[in-house]
Structure 1
Amino acid sequence: MNRFATVVVLSLCGLRAAYAADTVAPEEPAPEVARPAWALQITPYMWAAGLEGDISPFRRAPTIHVDKPFSDVIDDLNFGGFVNVWGRYDRFVLSGDMMYVDTTDNHGSGPLPALQIPGLGITIPPGASVDAKVDTKQFMATLQGGYRIIDTPQFTLDALGGVRFWHISNDVTVTASHPAIGTRSATHRESFGWVDPVVGVRAFLPLTEKLSLQAQADVGGFGAGSDLTWSALATANYTVTEHLSLSAGYKILKVDYDRGDHVYDTSLSGPVLGMTWRF
């Protein structure tokens, strides 16, 4: 009996000591998941942008005010393509955004003041009626590099700097009618382009495992190319798989260029839908 009691006491003491050891000993920290040193993602997107502003299709042409909702823009659209590329190596980042739009628009005006149309070889007299078909091709590319100044699981912020390249090409077919000249037609092609310096930021905020918010903005021009250009993009993102996500948001792109008798002072704005592939 004494021997049995001794065994029971020793067993209870051992269990108590083991319990004390479990409650006092610190837990081992969970191993951290290493973030890849590099990342690359490509996002083709649709942009339902309306157009508002002032443009001149060629030198010495009158400046035309344009105010088109997206429904009118899509009626004139021949082709449009938009893609965004973003990459990171450690804390160094690269951001690229490209746009190409081909539209055809028809204008009928009259009577107009005296106007010299390139290709006609004459000056259209005052009061003439002018019909114009304008085929416009626009290419814009923004390329920026930068550094991640805030890098936490809850929030990231990148500082960016680079250039924005513009190229505008207009094919204008003009038909002018007036008793003094009859009906005369001519076609004229003219193109121009410029480069703007830009600086900006990009922020990323995860909300849940699958939902996140992203915002990117920049400003530039400063008289080097255009007088001013700026853009802003905000999206909500949903992760479908490890390599695929969907996004929806709103984008604005503004530029004010007036140089060498060319005027391109416009604002494009509207909702965006994108699909992102990660590598």
Structure 2
Amino acid sequence: MNRFAIIVALSLCGLQAAHAADTVLDLPEEPAPEVTERPLRTLQITPYMWAAGLEGNISPFQRGPTMHVEKSFSDVMDDLNFGGFVNVWGRYDRFVFSGDVMYVDTSDGHGSGPLPAMQIPGLGVPIPAGANVDAKVDSKQFMATLQGGYRVIDTPQFTLDALGGVRFWHISNDVTVTASHALIGSRSASHGESFGWVDPVVGLRAFVPVTEKLSLQGQADIGGFGAGSDFTWSVLGTANYVVTDRLSVSAGYKVLDVDYDSGGHVYDTRLSGPVLGATWRF
């Protein structure tokens, strides 16, 4: 009887131990921490304002005088008829695309004299040496930089993209000229010309998140190399702040430089100034 009681007691202890073991094994597992992954593809469009000043040398038409131009942003605004700037950025996995487009329409009056003898299209007679020339120039400038590339560094703390592409320029000028000299009196004429070129460019784009909402971005390129212009380069640096999942704002500084001299046309200029933009992400 005692032996039977002992066997029963041991059996009951074994069942309780097995039940306890099952209870431990059946405890729910702790949820794994969520991992936030960046989307495979993204597209963003940034219209922006560029408070650019202008400095350089420009010849508005072939065989015409090359004029030195130096204007602050307020001077540019006084002459501005219309201006628009937009940047487009896209990415699919590690492949990236960058597009930047600028269109500016200005009107400017310029007086020079006395000048060496020259021929101004449309006047019909050569301009004698020592003549005074007044010119009004309506200028339209279109520039588009299109680049594709690859993300060579991709970490949560830093990204770096290598880029290559082309920069298109198209300059259109309508010039009204009045030349005054004792030998010819006062002569006026209007003349329009346009010219353009394409530059190969290579560049880099870097992005550094500072906080969840604040980031820094820099983009630079060089090009030309005598294929279109003698040389061209640009630099853009911005600080960016996320407002919503779809909208962010940015402020920074941009410089665009080009040195073109071909076929009697001269466009050797530098545009520089602060930028302010708003970015929509899709």
Report if TM-score (shorter chain) is over 0.5. Answer: yes
Q: Structure 1: how far apart are the matches of 2:220 and 2:181?
A: 50
Counterpart secondary structure, 2:74:
helix
Displaced runs of 4+ in structure 1, greater than 2 A? 26-29
**Other-structure match for 1:89:** 92
Residue 40 of structure 2 corresponds to residue 37 of structure 1: yes
Q: What is the aligned counterpart of 1:46 among 46, 49, 52?
A: 49
Residue 78 of structure 2 corresponds to residue 75 of structure 1: yes
Q: Structure 2: how far apart are the matches of 1:115 and 1:68?
A: 26
Instruction: Indicate the structure (1 or 2) with the bigger Cα radius of gyration.
Output: 2
**Other-structure match for 2:174:** 171
Cα deviation for residue 40 of structure 1 reads: 0.2
Cα deviation for residue 29 of structure 1 reads: 4.2
**Other-structure match for 1:5:** none
The one-character-per-residue Cα deviations of 1:177-197 (angstroms, maximum 9, x if unpaired) are: 112111111000011100000
**Other-structure match for 2:103:** 100
Counterpart secondary structure, 1:123:
coil
The one-character-per-residue Cα deviations of 1:86-126 (angstroms, maximum 9, x if unpaired) are: 00001100000000000100011222111210000111112
Counterpart secondary structure, 2:75:
helix
Q: Structure 1: how far apart are the matches of 2:209 and 2:107?
A: 42
Residue 279 of structure 2 corresponds to residue 276 of structure 1: yes
Q: Structure 2: how far apart are the matches of 1:29 and 1:150?
A: 28
Counterpart secondary structure, 2:78:
helix
**Paired residues, what number?**
265
Q: Structure 2: how far apart are the matches of 1:130 and 1:178?
A: 9
1:1-279 matches, cutoff 5 A: 29-279=32-282
Counterpart secondary structure, 2:243:
strand
Cα deviation for residue 28 of structure 1 reads: 6.0
TM-score, normalised with respect to structure 2: 0.89
Cα deviation for residue 34 of structure 1 reads: 2.9
Structure 1: give runs of 5+ residues left out of the alignment: 1-9
TM-score, normalised with respect to structure 1: 0.90
Aligned Cα root-mean-square deviation (Å): 2.3
Cα deviation for residue 35 of structure 1 reads: 2.2
Counterpart secondary structure, 1:124:
coil
Q: Structure 2: how far apart are the matches of 1:56 and 1:68?
A: 16
In structure 2, give the amino acid aligned to 1:189. G
Cα deviation for residue 269 of structure 1 reads: 0.3
Percent identity between the aligned chains?
78
